Copies of this chain bind each other. A is one copy, B any other.
C-alpha cells in the first residue's frame, strides 16, 4: 500500500446490504456519519457515478462545515467510491483532497468492511492522519456498526 493511502478495516456485525443502506440513504447516513458530538445536519446522496455527495456537519460550537463531493463507483452492497476532488457531474473541485474507496465483503456473521483513503502524496495522507482520520473514522464506524445491526 502506498504511503499516500490510509486504511481502516473492521468486521461489522451486519450484512453488506445493511451497511450499504447506511451509506446511501440520507436519513441513515445522518445518524452515524459524524463522530459525536458532531452532527450531520444535511445529506444529499445522488448515488450514481457523477452524482452529488453533499454533507453538512455541525460542530458543538455552532460552526457548520459543508462538504461537496462526487460519487465515482456505486456497486450496491459491494463497493462505494467517492471523492472531494470532483463535484457533481465530475467537475474539478476547488480544494481537492482525497478519494474514499470502500468495500463491503460478506463474511461470517456480517461484513468485512474496508476503507482506503487515497491522497495525491504522502503529505496529504499525513495531514489527514493528523486531522484525526483514525479516531474520527473509527468513532463514526462504531456508530455505523451499531446502526447497521438494527436494520
Which residues of A does B touch, CB under 8 Å?
4, 49-50, 72-73, 81, 83, 85-86, 89-94, 96-99, 101, 118-121, 124
Contact = CB atoms under 8 A, between A and B. Distances in A.
Nearest to A101: B90
Contacts of A101: 89-90
Nearest to A99: B90
B99 A121 contact: no
B120 A92 contact: yes
**Interface majority SS (helix, strand, loop, mixed), chain A:** mixed
A86 B85 contact: yes
Contact of A92 (B90, B94, B96): B96
26 contacts: A49-B49, A49-B72, A50-B72, A50-B73, A72-B72, A72-B90, A73-B90, A81-B90, A83-B90, A85-B85, A85-B96, A86-B86, A86-B99, A89-B101, A89-B118, A90-B99, A90-B101, A90-B118, A91-B118, A91-B119, A92-B99, A92-B118, A93-B120, A94-B120, A94-B121, A96-B96
A92 B72 CA distance: 12
Contacts of A73: 49-50, 90
B92 A98 contact: yes
A99 B50 CA distance: 12
Nearest to A93: B120
A146 B93 CA distance: 35
